[in-house]
Amino acid sequence: MKNPRAKHNFVSRTCSITGVGSYVPERILTNADLEKMVETTDEWITTRTGIKERRIAAADEFTSDLAAKAAQRAMEMAGITADQIDLIIVASITPDMPFPNTACLVQQKIGARRVPAFDIEAACSGFLYALEVGQNFIASRAYETVLVIGAEKLSSITNWKDRNTCVLFGDGAGAAILQNRANSHGLLTTALGADGGKADLLSMPGGGSRCPASAQTVLDGLHFLRMDGKETFKNAVQAMCSAANEVLERCEIDITKIKCVIPHQANQRIISAVGERLNCTPEQVFVNLHKYGNTSAASVAIALDEAVRSGKVQHGDLILIVAFGAGLTWGAAIIEW
């Protein structure tokens, strides 16, 4: 196994993940519940997506609240307190508000010091983008302890009358503490990509500078997430496979050596297609989509936390994380746990 960090002199320090944590809201919305809201069936949702239920945040529970709870759990596992955090990065497409950023709100909620805090918006790939940014701050010695979070309240931008999208998404958050640990395991490599030429496939057009919020934009439903499902599906499989292969090749690791593949949890058919093309066994691939649906930036972060806490991943195991989302954006990472 090759350590690609060795190629880059400036990336001189290992970035270890010393703690992970996640949080999902209490309320469960089942496929049976959705049958009463739109013209759909449990059978359609299960066979076309693999999703059985998803979590929905309370009206007074915001993305920053979910993020702060996930962060607390990650800090507990890492054995640190909030005053040890040097930088906070939140990945989300459903910030509490356009500004200030959600990372600042999380800083206040967890009682961190007045450390830098910013958001990254790369949709479902957001957690991987945040990991790479955080890793580079550790490697460059700018900061010692970085809190990285993927958090979403997608229920706030879901059109509950559109059966094409409302059955797919859920709310939740996942977090990781990044630190340098001498002679320890950590992130081996990350690969990110984007294609703005396909921005229209998956978007929320209203509320920005192009379509500022107005009575008309609300009437036109521009503040809801919209997606061309079929085209997104095709692009997801292709981009996730090529990102995964890129990091495997870079580290000269054969897929059989990966203990746990953590794909973005959008659709069981996408996960299966990616798994087959990468020649993974079903046992290698971590799936929790049936419980939470697609939680965008939180998806792989929650899955990583569950894989670690369930014992699926043990010290020394290799993990491959791969994600895809609006932008289009995609990314993959290999972690030696």
Catalytic residues: 124, 264, 294
For ligand UT7, which is the closer residue by CB, 49 or 155? 49
For 299, the enclosing helix (H) or strand (E) is helix 299-309
Q: Using CB under 6 A, which of the segments 21-29, 78-86, 163-171, 184-192 binds ligand UT7?
A: 163-171
What string marks each residue from 143 to 162 as x (binds ligand UT7 by CB under 6 A) or -?
Answer: --------------------
Can you spell out the DSSP letters for 138-207? HHTTS-SEEEEEEEEEGGGG--TT-HHHHTTB-EEEEEEEEE--TT---EEEEEEEE-GGGGGGEE--TT
For ligand UT7, which is the closer residue by CB, 177 or 298? 298
Residue type, 253: I
Q: Does 229 bind ligand UT7 (CB under 6 A)?
A: yes
Q: Does 101 bind ligand UT7 (CB under 6 A)?
A: no
Q: How far apart are CA 13 and CA 174, in angstroms?
A: 24
Q: Using CB under 6 A, which of the segments 128-136, 239-247, 250-258, 266-274 binds ligand UT7?
A: 266-274
The beta-carbon contacts of 157-163 under 8 Å, at least 24 apart in sequence, are 157/93, 157/94, 157/204, 157/223, 157/224, 157/225, 158/224, 158/225, 159/221, 159/224, 159/225, 159/226, 160/37, 160/38, 161/38, 162/38, 162/224, 163/38, 163/39, 163/40
Exactly one of 4, 27, 44, 121 binds ligand UT7 (CB under 6 A); that residue is: 44
For ligand UT7, which is the closer residue by CB, 51 or 147? 51
Q: Does 204 bind ligand UT7 (CB under 6 A)?
A: no
Query: Scanning residues 277 to 306, which ones bind ligand UT7 (CB under 6 A)?
Result: 294
For ligand UT7, which is the closer residue by CB, 248 or 266? 266
User: For ligand UT7, how many residues bind (rule: CB under 6 A)?
Assistant: 21
Task: Indicate the pairing of strand 318-325 with strand 260-263.
Answer: parallel
Q: Which residues bind ligand UT7 (CB under 6 A)?
A: 40, 44-45, 48-49, 124, 163-164, 167, 202, 229-230, 232-233, 236, 266-267, 270, 294, 324-325
